[in-house]
Structure 1
Amino acid sequence: MNISADGYVVDADGNFDWSEPADDVFAYWVRTQQESALDVYGRNLWETMQYWVAPPPESSPAELEYAEAWQNTPRIVVSSTLQHVDGADLVRDISEIPDRDGHVQIGGATLAAAMLDRIDEFCPVVYPVAIGGGIPFFPAGARLDLELVETRPFESGPVLFRYARR
């Protein structure tokens, strides 16, 4: 997920416009999506991701490549309020999410907090901006012992940090 330097995924108003990825970061997200065996979303992020169902024709080649990879990845949406979702399996509880081999992406900080015990790696892309509040990347009170296994600075400013559980 994209996060601010002070640890938030969205600001206090729910905005994430500060994390608009430059081409180098977007290329990373394209590769990550191509490697994903399954995407699991909460309702809010699922609704945001609907953009990739049919991006505008004037989209860049990289955006169209991402959209194709996203459309070809199996998806599960966890929601107690949605009645139906197109293009994904709908489950009501995280206990209904099957274990899956391969790279599984968990989308949405609230969902990730609920699934914290099932996540092996955390890969925040940290943007050089402080937003002062909002939804944190890690839930309050969480204690995780992590090992830094990779860092990757992007020319446009953000830095990827990949952490594995110890």
Structure 2
Amino acid sequence: MGKVIYWMNTSADGYIEDPDGRMDFMDPAEDFHEAANDHVRRISAFLFGRRLYEAMEQPWTQDLDKEGATAVEREFAQLYRKTPRYVFSDTLQTVPEHVTIVRRKDAVSVATRLKQEIDGTLQLGGPELAASLVDLIDEFWVYALPVIVGGGKPYLPVREGLRLRLVEHRSLASGIMFRRYVRP
């Protein structure tokens, strides 16, 4: 049976987007990219909401050699491209190879089936998708960047509280804080 990890990068005040809907404050340092690569090496599949999928797909599937990308960024792109991706969307009609569209009405049943069938880690990304699948999430990961944006889209927009237990935390040299939580 697989494990579902909800991982999103946030500002220090807990937002994945600023009040204008931008994520340009998310310019992570090299040490973050190294930590992300270490994590992504162990991912069996990505489960994305549409907006996060669109933010990730284009930059990590293009030819990074032409853009002067670092070695760690090129490695992330290789890892990303070889990992199966599921995008939960009612609007997308076509996707490239290694990507599967899941309609939102089927989100819980498909995510449940994937969790039962895939023996590994399923990385869930996208706050609205995570809120709709919150009962399936085993771990909550936060990489908080050292910036305050003062509002915007929260990490997890749920309507009721959720108690968690901190099982790991560390600080990267760049000032990014990592926290990993599980249910008590």
Q: State the TM-score, normalized to the length of structure 1.
A: 0.95
Partner of 1:70: 80
Deviation at 1:43, TM superposition (A): 0.9
Deviation at 1:140, TM superposition (A): 4.2
Partner of 1:114: 132
Structure-1 separation of matches of 2:69 and 2:25: 20
Superimposed CA distance per residue, residues 107-127 of structure 1 (whole angstroms, 9 cap, x where no aligned partner): 111111111111110010112
Among residues 42, 52, 55, which one is paired with 1:48 in the alignment? 55
Structure-1 separation of matches of 2:127 and 2:63: 24
Count the aligned residue pairs: 166
Partner of 2:161: 143
Counterpart AA for 1:56: L
Superimposed CA distance per residue, residues 65-112 of structure 1 (whole angstroms, 9 cap, x where no aligned partner): 000110111110100011111130111021223223211111111111
Consecutive unaligned residues in structure 2, runs of 5 or more: 1-7
Consecutive unaligned residues in structure 1, runs of 5 or more: none
Q: Over aligned residue pairs, what C-alpha RMSD do you find?
A: 1.2
Structure-2 separation of matches of 1:101 and 1:77: 20
Runs of 4+ more than 3 Å apart: none
Give the % identical residues.
40
What SS does the aligned partner of 2:53 have? Answer: helix
Structure-2 separation of matches of 1:116 and 1:96: 14
Structure-2 separation of matches of 1:138 and 1:56: 31
Among residues 4, 20, 27, which one is paired with 2:27 in the alignment? 20
Counterpart AA for 1:52: W
- Closer, same or farther: CA 135–55 of 1 in aligned 2, 3 Å: farther
